[in-house]
């Protein structure tokens, strides 16, 4: 039995799809399943049962001898939410309990961290454990993820295998419900479809041109593949970056979206909203050497390949889910 938390959400539901592709069907999907708009993410998947997130701890205690692995990907992920108590409840305290149960019952664990832990990147994007206590995230979401990473590294007792994954800018099918927090590909597709043009944030940084802001965009199918590789190999515990390893500009991303929609480019710029302007990351790029040195050798989609698959096989086809 494999448990997947956050299973109604973006990355976790894509992982469930990939698990099914790999012939894993004895799955327990954990989340708050009250939102009807996310039902499509899991209703066509094969699994054992749905489980409300508030019942997870009792379920683990009662079924620990049947549980082979836990993917704890459920979290509050809104970087524009500034109430620390929300993040403390769901991203820190809840995750600590999952960790403690996995330790108690010797259940291997993969959990979601975030590249938001790196803040403005002044210390680089290196996932070495010694650097984690010094990181300065820019918002409560990033702070909560870093607080849990720091707590994990202080634990004397651990699951016999564990991995924390610092997700960079993940995009791809199953993100339709995320609203403002959906990827730029999703927003670009919809804006272009509705208006024939795309408005990007203007740069407010002297070192970056408008649209020249750079991110490590990673396709969700690659994220799911890494998760399954970790489950199947269990070679090295630790906290790992999970990006493509290559920063690309927002202009690159939007131009590829136009091309795959077969619509002429029309791009303009608007000011970055003031509520996020001081917290805005202008550059992210995952140092992927740690995961590669641990043995992961599968290629990642290039930005061109990922956007082509996402736009061509999903968005152009009015298909929301993987």
Cβ atoms of 72 and 95 within 8 Å: the answer is: yes
Which string of b and e fits 128-162 if b means at least 16 CB within 10 Å?
A: eeeebeebebbbbbbbbbbbbbeebeeeeeebebb
Say if residue 282 is exposed, middle or buried (CB neighbours under 10 Å; 0-12, 13-18, 19+). Answer: middle
**Annotated catalytic residue 178:** yes
C-beta neighbour count of 187 within 10 angstroms: 18
Looking up tokens 């305290």, which residue turns up? 93
Looking up tokens 């990147």, which residue turns up? 121
Cβ atoms of 27 and 6 within 8 Å: the answer is: no
**Annotated catalytic residue 141:** yes
Catalytic residue among 42, 118, 141, 171: 141
Catalytic residue among 178, 199, 246, 279: 178
**Which residues does 288 contact at the CB level (< 8 Å), separation at least 6?**
241, 243, 244, 245
Say if residue 212 is exposed, middle or buried (CB neighbours under 10 Å; 0-12, 13-18, 19+). Answer: middle
Q: Map 53-67 to HEC letters.
A: HHHHHHHHHHHHHHC
What span, in angstroms and rounded, lies between the C-alpha atoms of 197 and 151? 45
What span, in angstroms and rounded, lies between the C-alpha atoms of 28 and 17? 13
Mark out the alpha helices in the chain (DSSP H runs): 10-21, 56-63, 84-87, 94-104, 140-153, 184-195, 220-233, 250-261, 274-277, 289-293, 303-310
Cβ atoms of 249 and 316 within 8 Å: the answer is: no
Q: Active-site residue numbers?
A: 141, 178
């Amino acid at each position: 039995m494999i448990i997947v938390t956050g299973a109604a959400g973006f990355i976790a539901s894509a992982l469930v799809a990939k698990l099914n592709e790999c012939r894993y069907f004895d799955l327990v999907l954990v989340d708050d399943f009250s939102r009807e708009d996310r039902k499509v993410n899991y209703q066509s998947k094969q699994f054992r049962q749905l489980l409300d997130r508030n019942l997870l701890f009792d379920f683990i205690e009662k079924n620990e001898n049947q549980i082979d692995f836990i993917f704890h990907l459920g979290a509050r992920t809104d970087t524009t939410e500034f109430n620390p108590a929300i993040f403390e409840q769901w991203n820190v305290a809840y995750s600590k309990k999952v960790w403690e149960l996995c330790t108690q019952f010797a259940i291997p664990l993969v959990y979601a961290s975030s590249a938001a832990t790196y803040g403005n990147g002044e210390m680089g994007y290196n996932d070495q454990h010694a650097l984690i206590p010094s990181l300065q995230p820019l918002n409560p979401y990033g702070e909560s993820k870093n607080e849990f990473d720091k707590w994990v590294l202080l634990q004397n007792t651990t699951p016999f295998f564990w991995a924390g994954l610092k997700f960079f800018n993940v995009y791809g099918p199953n993100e339709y419900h995320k609203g403002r927090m959906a990827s730029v590909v999703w927003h670009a597709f919809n804006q272009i479809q509705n208006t024939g043009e795309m408005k990007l944030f203007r740069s407010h940084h002297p070192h970056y041109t408008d649209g020249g802001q750079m991110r490590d965009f990673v396709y969700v199918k690659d994220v799911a593949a890494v998760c399954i590789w970790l489950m199947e190999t269990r070679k090295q515990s630790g906290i790992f970056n999970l990006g493509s390893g290559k920063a690309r500009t927002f202009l690159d991303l939007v131009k590829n979206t136009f091309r795959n929609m077969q619509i002429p480019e029309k791009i303009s710029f608007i000011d970055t909203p003031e509520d996020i302007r001081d917290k805005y990351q202008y550059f992210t790029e995952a140092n992927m050497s740690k995961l590669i040195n641990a043995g992961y050798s599968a290629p990642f989609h290039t930005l061109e390949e990922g956007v082509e698959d996402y736009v061509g096989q999903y968005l152009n086809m009015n298909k929301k889910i993987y």
